[in-house]
Every structure is written in structure tokens, then in C-alpha cells.
Amino acid sequence: MQIAKNVNVEFDEVLPFFKQSPSDGVEDDSDLTDSNTSFALPSKSSAEKLVDSFFNTWHPLFPVLHRPSFQWDFEAGYTEKASQDPAQMAQMWLVLAIAAKDTVSKVCTSHHHTDIKGSEGPEDHVKFFLRARYFLRQLQWEPSVHALKALILAQIYAFQEENYDLLWHYKTIAVGWAYQHGLHRSQKKMKLGPLTTEMRKRVFWSLYVLDTFSSAIVGLPKMLDDNQIDTEFPSDLYHPFFQIWLMTGMTILLQKWDFCQLLQETFR
């Protein structure tokens, strides 16, 4: 059923996590298991390049990850101390998928059809996403802010792929979780730790921007209600403990919020 421009919804797909049609000709993740070698990470040198690319390109715009924490989990992923947390594994694979997709886009744009030295193959962003989706499905009954970060990354990947059905699906879940955890309310009143408070604000406003832009693209109303939002903007400051500040990124994020307000008025 088509409900808006670029968005088709099958009602049996609303509650379960997104299932790709077998007719799409894309590898299915239904047979992936913990013992399957398909979960082996790419070579560390290639993965490091992709992680650096993600944090240089996307993280300033959507700063939902705490890089020191992510970096620790990334390094542990190549040892026997690898994380078994589905949210963390989903984040890991989505970071690789987003960066790998960027690599493919840059190659296509420059009309060079040979692989970039040291990078993964052009089809690997799909494989990375399928592994992320395996872990995303495990999160549907365990809503948390940590898992919400993975849903935001999944929306970024869907946006890259221009797959607005998939984007809308993950956004629907993400908005519900954001409300459930009170990310739309003033964080000062919750008396949480400084890093936790800052990350909650960054997660919420990243989701807000994605909600507004995706709604403008497909011609549907925003899901987040401005009348219910009184949370603060992310702090435009640096503290060595945070290690998450980028002046350019936060300035862009706030500018995007102003533009979101303009979009909202334009499409109202």
C-alpha cells in the first residue's frame, strides 16, 4: 500500500523488523548464526579506514556515538574480548556499512570503477548491513538509548540507499523509544552523569533532524511533536572527558535544526 511519495508499506511488515524480499536478489541473513564465519570482521586495516571515514564524515553531523567507547569495542572485536552485546554489534556493522557505501558512491562519482586500494569490495556495504540487521532484530524487545543509536545509524544507511521504506520503518521504532526514555524532555531535571546527559541530547537531536528531513522527502508529517519537546541542545563546548566535541559538527547540527523548522513551515 502506498501512503506517500516514495513510501510503500506492507502492514505485515510494520511490527517485525524489516524483511527483505527474496526477489530482491540480495543475500538473506536468515541463516546467520553466532557460529557462522559470515560474522568475521573485515581485515583490521580495512576496517580502521572505514571507521575513520565514518567519524570524519558522518559523526560531525550525527554525533550519536562516543568515539573512545566505540574505539575500545572496535579493538576488542579483534580479540577474544569481543562484545556480545547486540546493540554494540549492530553499531559496529552499521558504521562499516555506512562508510563502505560512501566509498562506493565516491568511486561511482569519480567514474573510477576499480576498487580503492585497501578498501572492501563494492558489494560489501550490503553484507555489512545484513550482519547489522541480524543484531537489530534482537533489539526489538529491548529498547534502550544504546540500542536507539543503532536505529539512527540504520536510518542513515537507509538514507544513503534511498530506501525510504526501510528508513521509515526504523524511524518509527526509534521515535517510540526516544519518547519511552524521555529524550524529548529536559535532561537537566533527570540528574544523570555529564557524559550520559550529553549523549542523550545528541541522540535526540540527531533523530529529530532525520525525522524532519525524511518527512520532507516522502511527504509525510513528522513523528516528533514540537509541542512536547523541551530538551536542551547539545553543549557547544569541549571537555577532555567527553572527547566528543566538534565545533563544525555541532554548529552544523544547530543550523540544521533551524532549517528543519523552515522545512516544517514550508510543508505544513
Q: Which pTM does this prediction carry?
A: 0.77
Residue 265 has pLDDT above 80, yes or no: no
Query: Which DSSP symbol is given to 222?
Result: -
Query: What mean pLDDT do residues 164-189 have?
Result: 95
Is the backbone of residue 23 left (phi > 0), alpha (psi -120 to 50) or beta? alpha
pLDDT in tens, 203-261: 999 999 999 999 988 889 999 999 999 999 887 644 444 444 444 454 555 555 555 65
Query: What mean pLDDT do residues 90-106 have?
Result: 91
DSSP string for residues in 102-150: HHHHHHHHTT--SPPTTPPPTTHHHHHHHHHHHHHGGGTTS--HHHHHH
Domain limits, the chain: 40-267
Query: 47: pLDDT confidence band, cut at 50, 70 and 90?
Result: very high
Query: What mean pLDDT do residues 57-69 have?
Result: 93
CB 20 within 8 A of CB 28: yes
**How many angstroms separate the CA atoms of 124 and 241, rounded?**
35
**How many angstroms separate the CA atoms of 123 and 104, rounded?**
8
Rg (CA), the chain: 18
Helix (H) or strand (E) holding 216: helix 194-218
Residue 11 has pLDDT above 60, yes or no: no
Q: Helix, strand, coil % (nearest 5) of the chain?
A: 60, 0, 40
pLDDT in tens, 70-89: 999 999 999 888 888 999 99
Q: Which is more confident, 78 or 26? A: 78
